[in-house]
Every structure is written in C-alpha cells, then in structure tokens.
Amino acid sequence: MDGRRGREQYNGGTNRPQFEFITVSGTNIRGDSETRRRVRSRAQADYRRRNPPPPRNALTVDLDVGSWLQSLSRDAALRPGQYAPLPMALQSTSQTIETIQMSPTDHDTTYGRDGAGIFLLIPPDHRPRARQLWNHLYGGGCVIFKSMIEIGFLDILHGSASLTQMLSSSAWHRKQLSTGDHESSIDYARYSLMATRALRLRLDDPTQRASLETIIAILTFAAFANLTSNSQLINVHLDGLTHAISGVGGLIMLQQLPVIWLMMYWIDVRGGYLQDTKPRFPQPYGILLAESKLRINSMPSPNFPNSNSTLVEDPAVAHIFDAIQQVTNIINSEAEALGHAFWRTVLFPGFHFAPILHDLLSLPRNTNGIASRFSKRRECFRLAGILYISELRGKFGMDNTGATSFAYKLLLLLKSREMFVSWESDNFFLLWALIIGSASLCIPEPLRLEFMELLSEYSSVIGAYSLRDSLPTVSGVLI
C-alpha cells in the first residue's frame, strides 16, 4: 500500500486537512520563494474551505443599460427623413397648430399617488413590491421626486416605458439609501430592462416614434440621468427628445404642455451645469413669469470678449448680477416670514435659480486660449456666480455635484498672471468672488482655505480704504 492510500485510510475518508512538515535551515527561516508559495496556497485553501462565499444572485449586480440606450438614440438620429433639427426660435405655423392637438388629458394617467395605471403592467406577484416602489416616489425624501410630483409630472405618465422607468428610478434611490438593500438592486435591474425594451419598441415603430407618450418616456429616462448626475446620459436623452419633439411640430408644441417643457428645461440646465456648457433650449419665459418672483426677462447681448470695457458696463453682467441681488433679497424675506419651512420649498430653486444658472452658463467663454483682461474678469464673475447659486441650491437639499470644478477653475484663474491685481472700478466683483470661494460649504475645506489666503492679501492689493468701502455692499449680496 502506497503512502497516499495509507493517509486516506488514516483520515477515515473524511475531508480533514492534511498537513506537511517543511524543513528550513540556516538563517532563512522563511524558506525560499517556492516554500512560501506552498505555505500561502495551503493557508488560503483552508480559509476558503472554512469560509465559503455566499451564493451570488446574478441580478444583484447593477445593470448598465447606458450603452444600449446610446446606440438606440444614435440609430434614431441616423434614420433618414425622420427627424429635422429642432428650431430654437418659437415659430408657430398652421401645420404645427394642427399637429399638436393633444394633451395629457387625452390619455389615461397613473391617478397620482394611487398609481392605479401602473399596476396593470406588473405581474400580480410583483405588485406589492411595485406598490412600495411607487409609494417611495412620494415619501422617499428625494428633492427631484418631490419636484416632479409638485408640477404634476407623475400624473401624466402613460405607457410601459415611462412607468417602469420611474419604478427603476425609485429602486435605484432606495438602493442608494441602504447599501444592503439587495431587493432594490434586483428591482432596479428588472425595471431598467422592462423600461429600455419598451422604449426600444416605441422607437422602432414609425407610428409611435413621434408621439406624446414617447416624449414623456424619453423624459423619464432623462430625469433618471439627472437623478444620478450622469451628464453623458442626459445628453443622449435630450438628443433623443429633440428628435421626438421635432416630429410632432417642434418646440412650439410645448407651450401647450408646460409640465413637459418645465421638466426638459430643468434637466437641460442641470446637464449644462454638470458639463459647464451652454444649455441647448431657450428659457420658458411664459412659465417663469407666472411662477417666479424674479423680474424675468431675456439676457441682453454681452460685450465682445476682446472689449476694453469694465464688468459694470457689460449689459449681460449687469442683468445677471441684478437677478442675483433679487434672489438674495427674496430668500432673506421668505426665510424670515416662513422660517425653516421655506427651505423645504422644493420648487423655489427651479423657478429662481435655474433662470440665473441658464444665463451664467450662456455667457461667452475663452475658446482661443488668448483672453483679454476683460474676458478673464467676466469669466471670474461667471464662475463665482455659479458657485454662489450652487451654495444656495445646497441649502434646499439639491445635489451640488460639479460645484468643486467651478471653484477650481475660479481659483486657478485668480492665481493666473496679472489677475490678482487691482480691478479698479470692478474691485467689488473681485472681493465678491473671493468671499464666495472662502465661504462656500459646497466645496472641500482645503479649497476654501486657498480662497481665504487670497482674501487675506486683498487689502494689500487694492488698499485698506477700498476694502472698508466695499464690504458693506458685498455683504448685502450674500446669504
């Protein structure tokens, strides 16, 4: 009988571990590399035997449908003769008016919080869980969900694609709130697949591709990209939305569908904010005039970047800074009147901050690398204004992903050659930018400290008298 069989008999045929003595000599008590490898491999094998990994459910892994959705949007955009460029100017034509004789009231809705319409799409055994996800949209504490509820967007959802996408968004949000919520991970994967397949069917059908239901469905996908701060997906879905809207008469049709225009507008501004790019759609002035306490009007044309003028003389800068002063006064007044309840007003940022952000993101930037003194100072104003609005958004519970990038740009610009000098008649804006950078809680503390260091040098740059003269005015434009 050989040694191997003898050891098996000794162990009684069990899976008990078998040990091996390793001889070492001299001062190298750890042994050579091969000896160490054998020791490690036996220790690892014994550990895995004693601690087997739990069974893995394939659906607990997040499902990435982004590439699939991007390919669908590209396919839709490349179909010849189906889509025309979306006109930025609102031009009404007789054909357009005939095309858009449809409104959300012509469709069955979800019946609000009860969500009766959605449960007809779900298998009976999944309906209790779907009910939990639907209720989470109303009670989960998400500012974006609350905004969608307040303007009535959830009430106009219709069809499998939009409804299941909202369930997917709800599951994703629940998963973010609790890292151990594996059931929500499964729901997120399940409803993402259902929503994507339903949207694909609509895009592949020429009779359904350009319809109100498809527009709403694409908008729910864009809303999810906004929820996750995914700027790439926001672009994909807004591109698809552009083509879908052009197929039913163009941007003019949204005048009759303010809920859709408002959702698209907010997502467009957020996408521009995340990428620091100009928003693609114009502002819905009719809606903003009715809902905002700001003096809403279009931004005048800014001065040319190579101009020798000052910031005070730039009509666009004056327009934006006046709006910032207005919103600061409105916030102080409302907060004093309503107390803590005011900071839970979920629609206030959309009607008061979004118009200012749209204008700030629409200001011209330096594209050729050779910037004039005026254009650099206006860029400082633009970045400081965006950072200030970011700080205000944070007070309302809004996500400030991207704020740090604006702070870095502002700091680098202020530290660049010939920038941290007296701005003469524009010294006020320099001080304002430094104070915003020093006091913004939405950016990391080390970054704030760098702004504070520059601020400590401000008086030596422009003079102590000028600093004392400017501080009262600056404090009146800050919360």
Read off the pLDDT of residues 345-367 as tens digits, 9 standing for 90 and up: 999 999 999 999 999 999 998 75
Q: Is residue 11 part of a domain?
A: no
317 in the same domain as 210:
no
Q: Looking at residue 262, what is its pLDDT?
A: 94
Sign of the Cα pseudo-torsion (385, 390, 391, 393, in order): positive
What is the span of the domain harbouring residue 265?
117-275
Residues 214 and 325 in one domain: no
Q: How confident is the model over 59-72, as a mean pLDDT?
A: 43
Boundary residue ending a domain (275, 302, 320): 275
What are the backbone dihedrals phi and psi of residue 85, each rounded to the nearest 5 degrees, phi first? -60, 140
- Look at residue 345 and tell me if it is in a domain: yes
Q: Among 71, 80, 72, 84, which Cα is nearest to 243's?
A: 84
Indicate the number of domains in the chain: 2
Given 275, 300, 322, which residue is the final one in a domain? 275
Helix 315-338, helix 354-362: angle, nearest 10: 160
Q: What is the largest CA-CA distance in the chain?
A: 103
Same-domain pairing of 260 and 372 = no
Residues 356 and 430 reside in one and the same domain: yes
Together in a domain, 130 and 262: yes
pLDDT confidence of 112, banded at 50, 70, 90?
low
The residue type at 45: A
At 280-305, the pLDDT tens digits run 999 999 999 999 999 999 999 999 87
- Closest-CA residue to 100 (of 240, 19, 179, 215): 215
Residue 133 and residue 258 in one domain: yes
Model confidence band, residue 61 (pLDDT cutoffs 50, 70, 90): very low
In a domain, 175, yes or no: yes
Same-domain status, 261 and 155: yes
With cut-offs at 50, 70 and 90, classify the pLDDT of residue 178.
confident
Q: Are 400 and 377 in contact (CB under 8 A)?
A: no
The answer to whether position 301 is within a domain reads no
Statement to judge: residues 331 and 416 lie in one domain: yes
pLDDT of residue 52: 67
